[in-house]
Structure 1
Amino acid sequence: KMTVFDNTLLECNSTPTSLRRRGRPPSDRWLFQSTHPQYLSHLIIRRSFRVVPVLVGPSIPRREREDTTERYARAILTLF
């Protein structure tokens, strides 16, 4: 969701460089294209720390079995 700072970014249509802020510098932010349905309400923010996805649930299916090939491929693609 967008904050007041993010709305300023939307008005400038770029990263504001002249704003003085206290505390930690803001993370990189990118707007959606103007034709995107969430252009006015959402934006992409770079995480300030790395995240490792953890698959919760049953184990990754075996690659060798023909009946689980698609599930295996989906699980592996989730990690990338």
Structure 2
Amino acid sequence: EKENLLERFQTVKLLIEKRLTENQRKILELRDYQGLEIEDIANRLNMQPATIRMNLSRARKTIREQYKKLNAYDR
């Protein structure tokens, strides 16, 4: 039986809490949940835009990889 949408959301939320650094969590929240632009996030966190993009990319990759590991039994 496939996970339902709520279970997927809860799994991803847990992965974000447990597997990402504090900066990655902040950046992911500002970008994906609040919809801020990279430059706005960089200004808010006093970081370079390239650093924001790198952290965002790494955070998303970590979540994807960890989610796949957790759900490997489905394949």
TM-score by shorter chain over 0.5: no
More strand by share: 1
Higher relative contact order (CA 8 A, sep 6+): 2
TM-score, length-scaled by structure 1: 0.27
Larger radius of gyration: 1
More helix by share: 2
